[in-house]
Structure 1
Amino acid sequence: MFKPISDLVKSLHKDSQELLTNRYKIGNLVGKGAMGQVYKAFDINNNDTVVAIKFLSQALLDSKMRDRFQKEAKISALLGEQSDHIVRVKDYGVDDSQVPFYVMEYLEGYDLDQLVKKKPLSFPKFLSLTRQICLGLECAHNGILVNNELAPIIHRDIKPSNIFLAKDEKGGHFVKILDFGIAQIHNPDESLTQKSFMGTPEYCSPEQMAEDELKATSDIYSLGVLMYQMLTQQTPIKAEAHNFQSWYKAHNEFPPKKLPTYLELPKDLDDLIMSCLHKSPARRPQNIREILKVIIPLDREYNSDGGMNQTSKEASSALLPINTVYRQSFWPQNKPQKKIVFPNLVEAQEGAFSSLWSMLESDEVLHFQPKSTFCFTHFMFQATPHPMILWVNLLYNRTYEPKWLPCYLDLKTDIGAQISTNLISQKKYHILLFELGHPSGYKQKLTVNVASEKLKQLQNFLLKASSWQGEGQPEGSKIILKKQFESVKKTILAAVARAK
């Protein structure tokens, strides 16, 4: 006999001495939906940090729903480590009554549905929120590791109530995508044909309504409906009645309404939103990056900080081709002009790119020209006491002394996780070599492709980092990795010399 969740919560209330799994004190109910209830709680193992705990509804306690609930927790945990714009799941468990739950970061704010119902968004607000939604969705579409293969995630339920607007430090909104409960994992070994319809009909693509194979373009259709609604408070397609058959007909047969001319939208944005709503997936933008190429420059124009990190803004004041961005780049003023190596993430027309920047002696820079240089890439990982990657690069030219360019990626920092994720999605990176004393521009640029087995390694490291809990001790892991690196340098160098 299951104990009702209401009785369970009373027994685990913050004033009670009982704890959920000997760790969490339960507070008040903060939300509920079709799949369960969400409570505010306190993590006594982490200085009473406030968290949110979602319990699966007891009306859904069958094996199928348990598996779906656990899948939602796993997807959110993995993606939340890779993007700040996806709600972060920290723990999963089962209570004494065998009711599954998972623990999330606690967010103060409200969902986009509440905001849109009040009034249409201002143009700057629309751009800021759309950019953030796209960044989270792009991360999901880039995927997680399944059976050692990258598997894209199709959300299948992009709508205003699943976009949470958390309060940021400046009093604005920080987007978090919620509810991966019906998300579909594109396992390379399986078809993406749906077993049954799931979703919110008002926002579903024609192919989702038809239970056909789904790709990222299905979420992009839903995003088009959402963008239209953010600007007008209305959806672009209306059904004759609120039932499945009527919505199926509407999405497959009715053309979307044009955006009102009074909005005076830039033509490329108007065209973009309408293209997202095309009946044919092939005629929509094929990935989120195509949408960001339009949104990001407008966001920079209408919102002064554009939400970009300072390094990216310095490297790319406008979305230019990547080679132009690099040519206009200078050695950062906040970095010493010494023989150091550091990672960077740069925005360009073609997308975001990871890069390594290094200063070398003039003769060393001349030795490593792209046509005559082989770059060996190696990733080393240390999970404890802190999840850390040592990203090793060996520049090799038979004629000259080889050059090691190692740098650390802390997977519990935004930049470390972002660069690791970007390497997986782009499958390549660039190395910029600067001459000591000459910060005004790089002298050599090397393009390095990352082998598929290395990409699988990186995804595995991110997966392990997502389950890490503890106090940050990055220096401890750096010391361990440095010792390991010194012990394998000769082996790596010998293998590269034999191969070349």
Structure 2
Amino acid sequence: MIFMPQKKIENMVGQKAELDDYIGQFLNNRYLIRDLIGKGGMGRVYLAEDTAKGGMPIAIKILSLSLANQQMSQRFAREIFIGAQLGRKSKHIVRILSYGVTEDKTPYYVMEYLQGKNLKQILKIQPLTISKFLEICNQICLGLQCAHQGISLKGEIYPIVHRDIKPENIFLSEDSKEREIVKILDFGIAKFLTERSGMTLTDSFIGSLPYCSPEHMEGRKLLDVRSDIYSLGVLMFEMLTGKHPFQTKSNSFGTWYQAHRFQMPPTLEEVNPQVKVPQVLEKLLMSCLAKEVSDRPQNINQILEDLEKVNSQINDVLLNNSSDILKVSLPVKLVPATFLSEQECLQKNWPKNKPIAPIGFPHLLQTPQRPIPTFWAMLPKQEIAKFLNKVHSTEFISKINVYPMLLWVTVLYDAQPSMTKWLPYFLDLKDNKGQNIARSLAEVGYYHLLFFPLEEPNRCSHVTTLSLTANQRQQLVDWLDISQRTNELILSNQAKNLLKTEYEKLKLDILQKLAADHKAEKEGLKTWMDKFLEMFFKLLSRS
């Protein structure tokens, strides 16, 4: 399995990998290090092969210190032993396979190699939906519950506190059945790194300041599970709102300590007015963020119980027991709240430097908040009327490993009679314009489609808004990142021809998907009507 998404593709395109003393080296005459795939304050993570198991991919974390004495070596071995036991007990904790030291006495440990993304990468795109939040939180809590229940060591049970719960240490992978599974990384490593002798509090402090509990920052030796619960509270707040509960003017130790110890957390709605959650969830978050240890949930079991209550409340929305009236809603497409109103778009004029012809092009419109991506299309009046309220879809096609270019396709579809309008456009990620449009699409998550009639071309006649999926937004972020580090293997015109060929191959798949979506929407509307009629006749029979 894969520990982190492999960012580097330089070897695929002939570019030299980042210089690193460990790349190409063997550890313990067994593990061949292939590439650097992650780094942070605690060390570096490498992709490697286990030559004793036929080159099986594994991940190796090499810590950022040397084992100065026998006592430190014993502590390291103890923490790795604990981490390995936890990984065997819970599928929500990354599995540790082995450990050792390099020739220069630097400790390392070997882990399963996971494919997916960490929570920080996911939250960069957008906050989580309530259902996704509950799914991820439940799995995090199950992993923490296993650790907090403890492991047996020399006949005694030792509860394990993580000490560094943060988005980077929560990894979303897939199991053998392609179900998403959450894994917690780096158990015990923060504790090991803080146990170095002869260090002051700020010298020896290991942890991520935005997520640390007040007692952790005060250097209390006997942290218990409620310290992890505080960090989990910060994480949950960020998962729902997309923002941290505390605002600081600097990233210093002292500033963060003042925030964690004395700043009162705002409500979710104060930070993000669009976030609406059940009261029990809001109350749970605030209790996790309590300054005093005794005011927080005393164990993970309490949090799991509250999350189950929230889940039940959300699922129990069809029947209102007090009125016996069935609560149903139309299957609607959610249109995002935008910075630019449709009325403002309707005031836009067709550019004088563009021909009066059936063409389309992207354009960034400036607003006081940020640039908003739009796509301007000139079509005959009849076509605009035909496709205006029909199914719209957005597709991105790329061969980023040979040239940094995207084919952005807006598809207009009418099922009866079957008609499709394709609006393709090439975005070259080598130039600033292409980069800015792709970045804006990823960050904003939607674009306005402006229609200009060919017969009266000056003024925009109609506007619709298309949303991107979370996967599309993440793809755009990844492609932008890769485009900065790849060499072009072919010319720009060759890349366009390659993408056109791929585009023609995918057209049938796209049409089948649109037809399936249209059918599902019709069936959803029929289900709604059936429920409405059932409720209507039920009320008639009572009157």
What TM-score does the superposition give when structure 1 sets the normalisation length? 0.52
2:46 aligned counterpart, secondary structure: strand
Cα gap change, 1:233 to 1:65, in 2 (>3 Å) = farther
Cα gap change, 1:228 to 1:49, in 2 (>3 Å) = same
Match of 2:242 in 1: 233
Aligned pairs for 1:282-431 within 5 A: 282-299=294-311
Whether 1:79 aligns to 2:93 is: no
Cα gap change, 1:97 to 1:262, in 2 (>3 Å) = closer
**Equivalent in 92, 104, 110 of residue 111 of structure 2:** 104
Amino acid at match of 1:256: P
Q: Matched residues in 2 for 1:218 and 1:228: separation? A: 16
CA deviations 1:100-151 (Å, max 9, x no partner) are 3211100011210111111001111111100011011111111122342111
CA deviations 1:48-75 (Å, max 9, x no partner) are 3221112233x54534765564444222
**Equivalent in 200, 204, 208 of residue 212 of structure 2:** 204
Whether 1:9 aligns to 2:16 is: no
> How many residues get paired?
284
Cα gap change, 1:119 to 1:8, in 2 (>3 Å) = closer
Higher Rg: 2
Q: Matched residues in 1 for 2:177 and 2:124: separation? A: 24
2:265 aligned counterpart, secondary structure: coil
Q: Matched residues in 1 for 2:108 and 2:188: separation? A: 13
Match of 1:153 in 2: 160
Deviation of 1:279 after TM superposition, in Å, equals 1.1
Q: Matched residues in 2 for 1:152 and 1:247: separation? A: 27
2:301 aligned counterpart, secondary structure: helix
**Equivalent in 226, 234, 257 of residue 217 of structure 1:** 226
Amino acid at match of 1:233: G
**Structure 1: gaps spanning 5 or more residues:** 13-19, 186-193, 305-500
RMSD (Å), alpha carbons: 2.7
Whether 1:30 aligns to 2:44 is: no
Match of 2:62 in 1: 55
Q: Matched residues in 2 for 1:6 and 1:48: separation? A: 21
Q: Matched residues in 2 for 1:31 and 1:66: separation? A: 24
Q: Matched residues in 1 for 2:207 and 2:315: separation? A: 33
Whether 1:262 aligns to 2:269 is: no
Match of 2:363 in 1: none
1:6 aligned counterpart, secondary structure: coil
CA contact (8 A) 1:26 1:41 kept: yes
Whether 1:180 aligns to 2:192 is: no
Q: Matched residues in 1 for 2:131 and 2:178: separation? A: 15
Aligned pairs for 1:135-174 within 5 A: 135-169=142-176, 171=178, 173-174=180-181
Identity %: 48
Q: Matched residues in 2 for 1:242 and 1:30: separation? A: 26
Whether 1:272 aligns to 2:284 is: yes
Q: Matched residues in 1 for 2:92 and 2:266: separation? A: 30
Runs of 4+ in 1 over 6 A off after TM superposition: 300-304
1:263 aligned counterpart, secondary structure: coil
Q: Matched residues in 1 for 2:181 and 2:266: separation? A: 29
Deviation of 1:24 after TM superposition, in Å, equals 2.4
Q: Matched residues in 2 for 1:127 and 1:163: separation? A: 14
Deviation of 1:167 after TM superposition, in Å, equals 2.6
**Structure 2: gaps spanning 5 or more residues:** 1-18, 193-200, 317-543
CA contact (8 A) 1:68 1:181 kept: no
**Equivalent in 255, 258, 262 of residue 253 of structure 1:** 262
